[in-house]
Amino acid sequence: MCRSIKTLRPPALPGEATDEDIHAAALQYVRKISGFRAPAAHNREVFDRAVAAVAEATAELLGGLEVRGRSVRREAGP
């Protein structure tokens, strides 16, 4: 599932994942799970909240990971 979502931590990603990288991955995940590329107007709010929640959880995960003995710390974004 979601094979085209790229890994967002070193060494797979040479630098730190940006907020844009995290949002793009969250959007792709929610699209895959919901089955909607672009939700109808009556689903837009819940779709957008889901993307924000997944992005926040992703930022928290990346902020807490340690990779090969080094910390992969990032500031948790909004």
Does position 42 have pLDDT exceeding 70, yes or no? Answer: yes
Does position 40 have pLDDT exceeding 70, yes or no? Answer: yes
Cα dihedral sign, 50-51-53-54? positive
Angle at 29 between CA 37 and CA 52, to 5 degrees: 95
CB-based contact 52:19 (threshold 8 Å): no
Q: Give the pLDDT of residue 69.
A: 59
SS3 71: strand
> What's the average model confidence in pLDDT over 29-44?
94
Of 24 and 4, the structure prediction assigns the larger pLDDT to: 24
Question: Considering only CA atoms, which of 54, 6, 8, 61 is closest in space to residue 31?
Answer: 54
Q: Give the pLDDT of residue 16.
A: 82
